[in-house]
Chain A
Amino acid sequence: MIDARGPAEHGIVSLWWLMLVLACAVFLLVCVMIAGGLIRSRHLSPDEPLPEASWGGPFIAIVGVAITGPILVFVFVLSLRVLRADAASTPKSALSVHVTGHDWWWQARYPNGAQTANEIHIPTGQRVRIVLDTVDVIHSFWVPQLGPKTDLIPGKRNSMWIEAASPGRYRGQCAEFCGFQHAHMIFYVIADRPGAFRTWERNEARPLMQPTSAIAKRGEQIFLSTTCAQCHAIRGTPADATVGPDLTHLAGRRTIAAGTLQNDPGDLSDWIRDPQAEKQGALMPSAPLSQTDIDAVVAFLEGLH
């Protein structure tokens, strides 16, 4: 959070540093008073009565109310300014990404029909609206470097905006406890320069890249004829289920299983063979496939650029 990379988070971080300075001042006052009391006590004789402390009441009133009050009002007003900036609406022309929370992964849909999971691409230097829905329990969308978090709540469509100042890969994670794999509901916001983003978005909206190698073709057949296709969609094939992530351009992602594993043939093959070993409780069942079949499916999926 401290490492802010976007305007929404910058405001929050300034607020934080200000509050931290104020907090340190208060803490120092408390330490000084206690230390003062301890040091003074060494010089006080047990036999003599303690001096009157008629300053006590005014001290409490002045420090506790007269000084604290205005400071609090100041911080309150400042926080509302940051809030207003963060909550301001995005321009009509802004890109709007529809993010849906699932146990335990993130679906992202774009206005041009592109659909991906767990890796949300945005263009740099502009506000992107994130519309938030959930299909099951409450989740919370949080990219610490880019902005505050917003909950995904059944029956309530929330939205927020994020903006990344420069290209990069910003880690995000579900922030509301959502069950077994709350810890592995990770996603990345990938900010590209607008040109690169448009290229990505166009490609992502296309149907699948037809497999060319024999093994990949066999992989496609296996994918479509077994349990895989009951949950996943690959646009351009009969597979159009929406339970699991859309895999049309899986090869373009760096991670799988919501940031749990790397998207390489080894991890992908492990994942397909036994998802429960990698991510206990995940809703994906083990595929009843032989290792050669799995290899074929992996070859097919890793060709989906």
Chain B
Amino acid sequence: MVDVAERLEELWAEKPGLADFIGTVDHKRIGKRYLYTAIFFFVVGGLEASLIRLQLSHANLHFLNPELYDQIFTMHALTMIFLFVIPALSGFGNFVVPLQVGARDMAFPRLNAFGYWIFLMAGIFMSSAFIVGRAPDAGWFSYVPLSNAHFTPGVNTDFYTLGVIFISISSTAGAINFIVTIAKMRAPGMSINRIPLFCWGELAMAISSVFAFPALTLAALMLELERRLGFHFFDIGKGGDPILWQHLFWIFGHPVVYIIILPALGITASVIPTFARRAMIGYAWVVLGEMAVALLGFGVWVHHMFSVGLPAISLSMISITSFVITIPSGIVVLAWIATIFSGRIIRKTPMLFILGFILIFVIGGLSGVMFAAIPFDQATTDSYFVVAHFHYVMAGGAMFPIFAGIYYWGPKMTGRVLNEFWGKVSFWIMFVGFNVGFFPMHITGLMGEPRRVYTYQPGLGWDVWNMIETIGVFIFSVGALITLINWWWSAKHGELAGNDPFGGETLEWGTTSPPPHYNFEHIPTIRSRHPVWDQPELRGGDQPIEAGGRALDDAHVTLSTSLLDARPQALIHMPHESGYPFALSMSLLVFFFGLLSGFLVVVGVGGLFAAASVVGWLWPRGQTQET
């Protein structure tokens, strides 16, 4: 059926050149951009981490002064959370989800492009704070009153408030896109009990995001109004309350942990069956577990505030939910290890990263349950024990799956397999480095080392452990660097991947590597939860019409299917390349810089251009009829 491929190519291909480079709406291109940009910020965040570790490697060092140290540790958190982990996982989601559900693109391709550009602009916005030497320095949690205009009068915290509002736009847009894509664009036959587990992870993350980001946006908005326009929300003297900030921040701040970890669990659940050569045991348990985690994640925020002096009854309630959330998380882990135990494990690099991840995540999870015990939390909160804990769940817990994803889906993205030897070397160095770097933080925390100190005194027994931590973090960096070089090198010189280098079960392995612009020549019909394993025709890279495939080669359309059982309902016209998402996000960058600098002219110019971009975006062209 060469003519189908030709017609689809004509409909879906993007032209080379600047216009389509900026205007691209191809989820694969956008996904890779998310990933590459996130990796760039990973390097930035890693450099910040190295500076922190150098400063803390020994007692009483003056390598960084407190002013600089505060900026760097704040930016380290902001960079790693908002500019590396969340967008990197969004990058995999963007690239993989439409392929796994058998769609031609994301539900809202231009919104998708917009989400990426906003992420980039917000990254530029926040990073530019270093250029002017006024990066946020009140911590990523920016507790008031420390972060108000009285105690931090500079623009440092304005970079923070405006920056997080800016990036929230991107995350919310991305989340809505994921939900609709997974809900409405699944290939015919992919009923709700056949959704790949990675998509479930992304879906749970996206649902969480829709309800969590408004809390951050609101808190940051209130803080900015208080700082700049003299409003009062947190100011005791005018009837406000600093605790309100903590509530709002952690109503976002705890779910965001799950927003980070759920897609990582999704990667894990994608990799394990492939390399255990068997389907995930307890599919329904895993799905319900992840959904329960996403839901319960909204009921545990107060355990970040156990030492605030809240009434014992609220502490106990939150303590219960914090214990209970262990059960669904535990179920997910048990399903993995049962699958591993009963499988035939193939020890390739993606699987090594996942096995390493499981150990790290379990350690982080176990230290996490301990915080549910109120008195223990009150003793260890704000100590290095917490730093150890959340680096195990959020840093190791996200980074190891991200690296697994690079080795697992990298071949799908570039068409070439990453070098296996250097992959394994990289894994072992990272795994050893991570544990050497972060495990001792449990110990110094229990010894009484508080968080966020720019230095400490000698003679407390903290020096040795801190030196070990620093060494570990540098070892880890070397390992990570090896993968980045491996990825770059293998993309050019690696072995050709073929459609399915690892023998995966999900649909992305049923098309070429890299996939064509239109993803699948024929949108396949799914008859199993493991389509590529159970439907031999997909292993050939295409499901012809005789086997139930749908070409959809008459127009630039994709299929809308029903929510639960994925019956075909309609064909949706998809938008073409557009420069407006880029124009709008550029205008918003100007707008936000205007707000930051206080120059109303700049605000006005940014606002006008933004309005013009929206008009251009929505202006009906060509076909004026509603689709």
Contact = CB atoms under 8 A, between A and B. Distances in A.
Asked whether any CB of A lies within 8 Å of a CB of B in the complex, the reply is yes
Interface of A: 1-2, 9, 11-12, 15-16, 19, 23, 26-27, 29-31, 33-34, 36-38, 40-41, 44, 46, 50-51, 53, 55-57, 59-61, 63-65, 68-69, 72-73, 75-76, 78-80, 82-83, 86-87, 136-138, 140, 142, 144-145, 147-151, 153-156, 158, 171, 173-183, 186, 259, 280-281
Contact of A154 (B145, B335, B445): B145
A150 B309 CA distance: 7
Contact of B327 (A34, A68, A149): A68
A53 B338 contact: yes
Interface of B: 65-67, 70, 138-139, 143, 145-146, 151, 236, 241-243, 276-278, 281-282, 285, 307-309, 312, 315-316, 319-320, 323-324, 326-327, 330-331, 333-335, 337-347, 355, 358-359, 362-363, 366-367, 369-370, 372-376, 378-383, 445-448, 450-457, 460
Contacts of A137: 143, 145-146, 151
A63 B332 CA distance: 12
A16 B369 CA distance: 11
Given A41-B345, A137-B146, A186-B457, A33 B337 contact: yes
Nearest to A186: B457
A64 B341 contact: no
Given A30-B359, A68-B326, A19 B309 contact: no
A29 B362 CA distance: 11
Given A1-B380, A1-B383, 18 more contacts: A1-B448, A2-B446, A15-B373, A27-B366, A40-B341, A41-B344, A50-B278, A53-B278, A56-B342, A80-B316, A136-B151, A144-B447, A150-B307, A171-B460, A173-B450, A183-B453, A280-B66, A280-B67
B287 to A, nearest CB: 12
B307 A30 contact: no
Given A38-B345, A156-B243, A148 B307 contact: yes
B345 A37 contact: yes
A183 B355 contact: no
A138 B143 contact: yes
A9 B143 CA distance: 27
Nearest to A69: B327
Contacts of A86: 375, 378
B448 A148 contact: no
B376 A19 contact: yes
Given A12-B375, A37-B342, A83-B315, A60 B282 contact: yes
B482 to A, nearest CB: 23
A64 B330 CA distance: 6
A61 to B, nearest CB: 8
Contact of B450 (A34, A37, A142, A145): A142
A26 B374 contact: no
Given A41-B345, A69-B327, A83-B312, A280 B65 contact: yes
B323 A75 contact: yes
Contacts of A72: 323-324, 326-327, 369
20 contacts: A1-B448, A11-B375, A26-B366, A31-B359, A37-B337, A40-B344, A59-B338, A64-B285, A64-B330, A65-B327, A75-B323, A79-B372, A80-B319, A82-B375, A83-B315, A86-B378, A137-B143, A144-B448, A177-B452, A183-B454
Nearest to A84: B312
A241 to B, nearest CB: 21
A155 B327 contact: no
B145 A136 contact: yes
A2 B242 contact: no
B375 A154 contact: no
A6 B393 CA distance: 32
A33 B70 contact: no
Nearest to A52: B342
A86 B376 CA distance: 11
A171 B138 CA distance: 25
A53 B372 CA distance: 34
A259 B460 CA distance: 13
A64 B327 contact: yes
Given A34-B358, A86-B375, A149-B382, A27 B363 contact: yes
Query: In this complex, which of A145, A147, A176 has the most chain B Cβ atoms within 10 angstroms of its Cβ?
Result: A176
A76 B281 contact: no
Nearest to A143: B448
List the 8 shortest-distance A-B pairs measured between CB atoms, nearest first: A148-B378, A56-B281, A144-B448, A79-B373, A155-B236, A183-B453, A158-B309, A23-B366
B275 to A, nearest CB: 10
A79 B447 contact: no
A34 B361 CA distance: 14
Nearest to B377: A148
Contacts of A19: 369-370, 373, 376
Nearest to A159: B309
A173 B337 contact: no
Contacts of A33: 337-338, 340-341
Contacts of B374: 79-80, 83
Contacts of A38: 340, 345, 347
A68 B329 CA distance: 11
A86 B340 CA distance: 44
B342 A175 contact: no
A23 B382 contact: no
B495 to A, nearest CB: 20
Contacts of A182: 450, 452-454
A51 B151 CA distance: 65
A104 B111 CA distance: 48
A140 B343 contact: no
Given A59-B338, A83-B312, A149 B378 contact: yes
Nearest to A85: B375
Contacts of A186: 457
A59 B320 CA distance: 24
Contact of B337 (A9, A34, A65, A175): A34
Contacts of A41: 343-346
A2 B363 CA distance: 19
A9 B379 contact: yes
Contacts of A181: 66
A234 B445 CA distance: 38
Contact of B67 (A79, A180, A259): A180
A132 B344 CA distance: 59
B344 A156 contact: no
Contacts of B333: 30
Contacts of B335: 56, 60
A138 B330 CA distance: 35
Contacts of A79: 319, 372-376
Contact of B455 (A37, A178, A183): A183
A153 B319 contact: no
A56 B338 contact: yes
B375 to A, nearest CB: 4
A176 B362 contact: no
Given A12-B379, A177-B452, A34 B146 contact: no
A219 to B, nearest CB: 29
Contact of A56 (B282, B308, B452): B282
Nearest to A172: B448
Contacts of B450: 142, 173-175, 182
Nearest to B324: A72
B52 to A, nearest CB: 13
Contacts of B339: 53, 56
Contacts of B381: 149, 175
A60 B289 CA distance: 11
Contacts of B347: 38
Nearest to A56: B281
Given A148-B378, A177-B452, A30 B358 contact: yes
Contact of A178 (B146, B369, B445): B146
A23 B376 contact: no
B67 A153 contact: no
A31 B356 CA distance: 11
Nearest to B374: A83
B379 A148 contact: yes
